[in-house]
Amino acid sequence: MTSGRSVHFGLICGVGFLLLAGTPANAASCAVQIDQVQGQLDAALARHAKSAPYAVESKAAKLDHQPTPGTIAREEDKLGAWDGGEKAVKALARARDAQATGNSSDCFKALRAAKRAIAIP
């Protein structure tokens, strides 16, 4: 009877060890993938910026003050923003938040969403 308990206890400890041992690897893997997807997103945004329409600098832009975020947003809307880029940026932020809290499942889910948004398989 004692050896049966020892085997049972050993199995429980072994399974627990495997579960705990896998957590840091998943977290590290997610962090590595966040960096990779960030690089892919940066490249996609740069490609989009090169191919997107642009506006001529207005007289107001040459004045001695910075534009407000609202002004910038209105002008970008006129030119047509890239929804995929915005979705990817938000998904990557969710991945970072999930990684910071140790939630590997949500981290990988957000990374998949970021990749889909910028059409990366």
Instruction: Find the domain containing 78 and state its range.
Output: 26-117
Give the pLDDT of the chain (121 residues) as one tens digit per residue: 455 555 555 545 444 444 444 445 666 799 999 999 999 999 988 888 888 777 777 777 777 778 776 777 677 667 767 788 889 999 999 999 999 999 999 999 999 999 999 987 6
Q: How far apart are CA 19 and CA 32, in angstroms?
A: 20
Helices (H), the chain: 2-51, 69-79, 83-100, 104-117
Residues 6+ apart with CB under 8 A from 119: 84
Asked if residue 15 belongs to a domain, the reply is no
Task: Provide the pLDDT for residue 8.
Answer: 52
Asked if residue 85 belongs to a domain, the reply is yes
Asked if residue 55 belongs to a domain, the reply is yes
Domain count across the chain: 1
Asked if residue 103 belongs to a domain, the reply is yes
Task: Provide the pLDDT for residue 31.
Answer: 94
Asked if residue 17 belongs to a domain, the reply is no
Asked if residue 18 belongs to a domain, the reply is no
Q: How far apart are CA 119 and CA 101, in angstroms?
A: 27
Task: Provide the pLDDT for residue 73.
Answer: 66
Asked if residue 6 belongs to a domain, the reply is no
State both tokens at 80: 């047509």
Q: How far apart are CA 20 and CA 56, in angstroms?
A: 57
State both tokens at 94: 């969710």
pTM of the model: 0.62
Asked if residue 3 belongs to a domain, the reply is no
